[in-house]
């Protein structure tokens, strides 16, 4: 009796799961739109609402092909993956703090002392010179701020790379570690298409906004970083979700911004302001209640700017619909 019950449960579960995964392959769980694969970023993204369904996909296959033993040797990838997020790229030796051997047995007192000494020296070598310590601290900061801003791993990696370069080019003297770290993160976020406004970044940094801006400009110039002005659309999803608005609103906001971009209304205006205005205007069109002050709060943009922008946005939209 119990036997049959268990079996049916298991069967149901199995069929349900296969169905779900098959369905999930091409449908967005949020809006039901078709999914497209972004090979470059390793993401599966909804074509309609832009929801990232799956990320961090990676090509784990071997390098193209190998013709003889030497090449096989060279092209095989063995060992832990390196990461720029640790100051030594995760390649140095780490000694466990537990006094156990590889089998989990406790060590004798002689061995314990030995391990103490080894740990001490290993640590000293690991963070040998000031640059290493500098990096360690900066990467910690980057990680902390990135978490606070909800930025994905790849942005942190990019920020780490930028910081490393700044360090290599001796851009640090005269500037604070935190300032450069924050700027690196700000730059990385923009570069990766997940921009955060200067205000937001300043909010989680220990450094003043002005200094961040100054350092950011400096770093970008010295490193020759190419960073395009942020796309207003990239702010929309966040504002929408923070204000608890519908997807319909988000869609409208996007299309508002698109027509505005086509008409060239956007140049010279702050992308954040545009995004905020678009969200407000879209909420108006879908009869959802948001006040200007709420939007201005989450976007940290003045209400006046929202007013001015959203008038322009609506005009541009009307112009395209009925000329």
Partner DNA sequence: ATGGTTTTTACTGCGTC
Partner DNA sequence: GACGCGGTAAAAACCAT
Binding residues for DNA (CB under 7 A): 210, 213, 268-270, 273, 290-293, 300-305, 307-309, 311
- Which of left, alpha, beta for 224 (phi over 0: left; psi -120 to 50: alpha)? left
Torsion-angle region of 268 (φ positive above 0: left; ψ -120 to 50: alpha; else: beta): left
CB nearer to DNA: pick between 183 and 305? 305
Nearer to DNA, 154 or 300 (CB): 300
Minimum distance from CB of 225 to DNA (Å)?
Answer: 14
Report, in Å, the least distance between residue 307 CB and DNA.
5
Pairwise CA distance, residues 148 & 157, whole Å:
16
In the complex with DNA, which residue's Cβ is closer, 79 or 268?
268
Q: In this structure, are residues 63 and 55 in contact, taking their beta carbons and an 8 Å threshold?
A: no
Q: N- to C-terminal Cα distance for the chain?
A: 73
* Strand, helix or coil for residue 90: coil
195 or 273, CB closer to DNA?
273
Report the distance separating Cα 262 and Cα 103, nearest Å. 66
Shortest distance, position 276 Cβ to DNA, whole Å: 9
What tokens were used for 119?
Answer: 């740990």
Q: Answer for the pair 227, 187: CB distance below 8 angstroms, yes or no.
A: yes
Pick 87 or 309: Cβ nearer DNA: 309
CB of 208 to DNA, least distance (A): 11
Determine contact, residues 322/316, Cβ cutoff 8 Å: no
Shortest distance in whole angstroms from residue 199 CB to DNA: 8
Least spacing, CB of residue 297 vs DNA, in Å: 11
For the CB of residue 166, give the shortest distance to DNA in the complex, in Å: 20
Residue 235 DSSP code = G
Using CA atoms, how far apart are residues 250 and 257, in angstroms rounded to an integer?
11
What is the smallest separation between the CB atom of 311 and DNA, expressed in angstroms? Answer: 6
- Cα-based torsion angle of the residue sequence 306, 309, 314, 319 in order, rounded to the nearest 10 degrees: 180
Which of 43, 317 has the CB closer to DNA? 317
Closest to 272 measured CA to CA, from 184, 171, 199 = 199
Indicate the residue among 20 and 210 with the shorter CB distance to DNA.
210
Of residues 258, 239, 159, the one with CA closest to residue 200: 239
Cβ proximity to DNA, 144 vs 269, nearer residue: 269
Instruction: Report in angstroms how near the CB of residue 301 gets to DNA at its nearest.
Output: 5
17/311 with CB nearer DNA: 311
Residue in 223, 221, 149, 228 with CA at minimum distance from that of residue 190? 228
Backbone angles phi, psi at 27, to 5 degrees: -115, 140
Residue 294 burial (CB count, 10 A) = 17
């Amino acid at each position: 009796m119990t036997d049959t019950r268990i079996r049916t449960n298991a069967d149901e579960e199995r069929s349900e799961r296969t169905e779900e995964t098959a369905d999930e392959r091409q449908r967005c769980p949020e809006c039901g739109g078709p999914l497209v694969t972004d090979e470059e970023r390793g993401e599966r993204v909804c074509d309609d609402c832009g929801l990232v369904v799956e990320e961090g996909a990676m090509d784990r296959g071997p390098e193209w092909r190998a013709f003889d033993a030497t090449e096989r040797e060279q092209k095989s990838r063995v060992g832990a993956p390196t990461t720029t997020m640790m100051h030594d790229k995760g390649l140095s030796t780490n000694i466990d703090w537990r006094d156990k051997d590889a089998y989990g047995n406790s060590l004798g007192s002689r061995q314990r002392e030995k391990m103490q000494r080894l740990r001490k020296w290993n640590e000293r070598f690991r963070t040998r010179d000031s640059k290493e310590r500098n990096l360690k601290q900066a990467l910690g900061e980057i990680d902390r701020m990135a978490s606070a801003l909800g930025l994905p791993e790849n942005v942190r990696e990019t920020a780490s790379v930028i910081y490393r370069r700044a360090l290599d080019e001796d851009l640090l003297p005269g500037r604070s570690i935190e300032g450069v770290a924050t700027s690196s993160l700000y730059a990385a976020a923009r570069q990766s298409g997940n921009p955060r406004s200067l205000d937001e970044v300043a909010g989680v940094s220990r450094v003043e906004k002005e200094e961040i801006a100054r350092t950011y400009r400096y770093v970008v110039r010295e490193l020759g970083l190419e960073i395009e002005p942020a796309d207003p659309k990239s702010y929309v999803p966040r504002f929408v979700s923070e204000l608890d608005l519908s997807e319909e609103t988000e869609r409208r906001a996007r299309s508002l911004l698109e027509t505005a971009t086509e008409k060239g209304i956007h140049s010279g205006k702050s992308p954040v302001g545009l995004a905020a205005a678009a969200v407000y205007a879209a909420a108006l069109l879908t009869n959802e209640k948001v006040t200007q002050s709420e939007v201005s709060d989450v976007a940290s943009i003045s209400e006046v700017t929202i007013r001015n922008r959203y008038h322009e946005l609506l005009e541009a939209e009307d112009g395209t619909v009925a000329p």
